[in-house]
Structure 1
């Protein structure tokens, strides 16, 4: 069931039902809470500055006030690393890549990949974003009902393949899409095993599919990397990565890290952006007048130059809409850290080994931080509005580990949405309930079927 509060002048999209009081920890590992990270929170979780839980013997601190979040992610960031349990979950898929490493290894990898996502580098990729969006839309013929979550995923996979991996066709197949989805969904089962200290053995059909997805991803990307040896091949992201790693690490480790980072950027690079595009389309499909306004803006922006690097900058309304969509449906609803040494978060003692769980889902909808927090209001992000705390809005994380591909993701999402909105109208399918799902990333359960129709050129 979904709660939809009383509507006012602002549109309030659906969100999971909230209980009045705390939810038992064990409920998080059964039923819908085991499949959907944002399901089953109490209303109190959106009102407190901080709370603490004990999860199977592990102390978990949940800071919600931006000052407390800043302490963990910035002020004392060196004391809060990727948790060992999270690494155990991630290693089968992305090894010791940028997302799962810490310390000197993380800093070295971050320095290597950062140049690929600098503003000037991203600007040169706008034509590829536009090309992928247009290519997808060409297959829509005269409309009908299409799963726009699947369309967004296929398009962002095409973008990642074209821009980071020289268009390698092995990365854009239907099998690749299915295996990646299975790998992400298999995390919920593995999460309980990791917390209980059990071996990571698939216990269900979902777990088996997840394991097959992990193996497919690793074997495919290992083949892609090996085909580029010894010199890295084309001068794209993967080529530059292979050459830089070969200069700094011995051959065996350089190869392993190249595969790990290829998996990291292939998986995270397309999945989160696809979800951002999907949720934005859902919100627009429910608001015909706003959709028409953004479509007009998109048509004007594209008329100036459909593929030039400044296209995303000509979309201020669409940008505000996308930012508000990322607030309501953050692609990654939670991320975690683990304390290395004793510390204090506000008035609370933190012991070495304690977990700190950062929840954009809770912070982005917190009653003390936002007016009408569950309502959709793109004008929150209009120029001149009240300045927010820098750790109040975290769609790409924060601090030194702010997502290195944030600019890439925003430019890609804006370009794809602009090209689709300029040519197509999106409407909801009557009777279709849309609800968030997922433990690692946040996507609509069962996809997002929308009725699409071409915009009249007259």
Structure 2
């Protein structure tokens, strides 16, 4: 049996470093750099961070209690909601309590299995249009940039009526600035300062661009009584439940979240998956054959015809979870894994660490899609694999993202062959999402 591929991961340290080192140098710009080896074999670490008690938890039972069984006693931290409030306001991503439940009820039908199947043809058309512009010679291509452009086009087409304002080159730059600054904002937020730190000016400009653009679109849809796309329906539903000014702000808040998260996380999943396939030519050929067969049928149920590609995508999401961390704040004293958690403590759950934990996975740093075969997947703990979170706040667009990624990957594999170029391997950088540090240049050639 051939040795399994060990894809790149960031530097690990020999022991837990002082807390302050997480806010300077390399670690300040990359949250997954320098994690100690102990984090991947222990299940609990408590640290004091600028007056906060933070419990880093990798025990699946404890995670299940936080995210599901005792979810009412754990909310998204006020610190995080304050930090993201300028961009996300009081929308679904940032809300708590009844406001969150009401907004979730409004958007959930858009992401039902039947609704996602209805989007499949639009996803395929947007992907095909991008692929049709690719060169046919064996030229290097930044597949991170291509993934971003593709998912931006898909989100615009499926949720926002194909509005060209959301696919303009400037939009991608503004989003990148927002995400980079938010990922670097830990020190200023912990100290109670308003600035986002490095890149804060670009981040504010990005936030203004998105809110102004989406605000104009909300006004257009409100004037028309809604519309037949997701955003039009959202605007109409909110105006039916809230005063006009509040409805407008909530529509913008939610649109920012769905537009940014809806394309950024899937773009990263696509980027890492195509890299893993480029590094394994035989597996790539196997999946190309599966994709070519699957693309002959209807798009609405194509995911059922791509079982091997789905396992590869799941393994890619394990190794490179698009959102590398989840945080919750204890609203009351509690006990987790036999340890006391006090009200106001922060529970920090890192899918990036959990997905590579030695107590939970065989050869955790190796790429092995067979671990997601049905029998092996059924044996997993419910809360050891969290690419989309868990519990009531699990990502509402999780199925959309999976179907989208499979359709895009199938089209890419049908159209081209991908190979890793000489040079250093890509470095995962954790900020709000998990991106490759310098894009993902691959050799792309015609079949």
TM-score of the pair, normalised by structure 2? 0.97
| 1:357 and 2:351 are equivalent in the alignment | no
| 1:297 and 2:290 are equivalent in the alignment | yes
2:84 to 87, 90, 100: 90
1:411 to 403, 406, 410: 403
**SS of the residue 2:35 aligns to:** coil
> Whole-Å Cα distance in 1 between the matches of residues 283 and 91 of structure 2?
40
Moved more, 319-328 or 11-20: 11-20
**SS of the residue 1:12 aligns to:** coil
Alignment of 1:204-219 (within 5 A): 204=198, 206-219=199-212
Q: 1:201 to 1:284 in 2, by over 3 A?
A: same
Moved more, 315-324 or 24-33: 24-33
Which residue in the other structure is 2:190 paired with? 195
Moved more, 155-164 or 246-255: 246-255
> Whole-Å Cα distance in 1 between the matches of residues 223 and 278 of structure 2?
49
Which residue in the other structure is 1:398 paired with? 390
Q: Deviations for 1:133-153, whole angstroms, at most 9, x for unmatched residues?
A: 111111112141111001000
| 1:33 and 2:24 are equivalent in the alignment | no
Which residue in the other structure is 2:64 paired with? 70
**SS of the residue 1:443 aligns to:** strand
Task: Give 5+ residue unaligned stretches, structure 2.
Answer: none
Contact 1:189–1:207 under 8 Å retained in 2: no
Q: Deviations for 1:85-135, whole angstroms, at most 9, x for unmatched residues?
A: 101111111111111110000000001000000000000011111111111
2:319 to 328, 339, 345: 328
> Whole-Å Cα distance in 1 between the matches of residues 188 and 200 of structure 2?
11
Q: CA deviation at 1:225?
A: 1.0
Which residue in the other structure is 2:236 paired with? 243
> Whole-Å Cα distance in 1 between the matches of residues 421 and 446 of structure 2?
16
Q: 1:417 to 1:449 in 2, by over 3 A?
A: same
1:151 to 146, 153, 159: 146
2:427 to 421, 432, 435: 435
Contact 1:16–1:39 under 8 Å retained in 2: yes
> Whole-Å Cα distance in 1 between the matches of residues 218 and 426 of structure 2?
39
Task: Give 5+ residue unaligned stretches, structure 1.
Answer: 1-6
Q: CA deviation at 1:239?
A: 1.2
Contact 1:232–1:238 under 8 Å retained in 2: no
Task: Give the total of aligned pairs.
Answer: 445
1:222 to 210, 215, 220: 215
Which residue in the other structure is 1:3 paired with? none
> Whole-Å Cα distance in 2 between the matches of residues 372 and 27 of structure 1?
29
Contact 2:188–2:197 under 8 Å retained in 1: no
Q: CA deviation at 1:47?
A: 0.6
Q: Deviations for 1:361-406, whole angstroms, at most 9, x for unmatched residues?
A: 1110000000000000000001222610110100000011111000
Q: CA deviation at 1:233?
A: 3.5
Q: Deviations for 1:182-211, whole angstroms, at most 9, x for unmatched residues?
A: 11001134221110112x23554x222222
Contact 1:295–1:421 under 8 Å retained in 2: yes
Which residue in the other structure is 2:278 paired with? 285
Which residue in the other structure is 2:163 paired with? 168
2:309 to 308, 313, 318: 318
2:15 to 4, 11, 21: 21
**SS of the residue 2:300 aligns to:** coil
Contact 1:333–1:441 under 8 Å retained in 2: yes
Q: CA deviation at 1:232?
A: 4.4
Contact 1:231–1:243 under 8 Å retained in 2: no
Contact 2:278–2:284 under 8 Å retained in 1: yes
> Whole-Å Cα distance in 2 between the matches of residues 432 and 451 of structure 1?
14
> Whole-Å Cα distance in 2 between the matches of residues 434 and 131 of structure 1?
30
**SS of the residue 1:11 aligns to:** coil
> Whole-Å Cα distance in 2 between the matches of residues 301 and 203 of structure 1?
47
Q: Deviations for 1:38-93, whole angstroms, at most 9, x for unmatched residues?
A: 11100000111211111111001111110010010011000111111101111111
Contact 1:158–1:172 under 8 Å retained in 2: yes
CA RMSD of aligned residues (A): 1.3
Alignment of 1:78-117 (within 5 A): 78-117=72-111
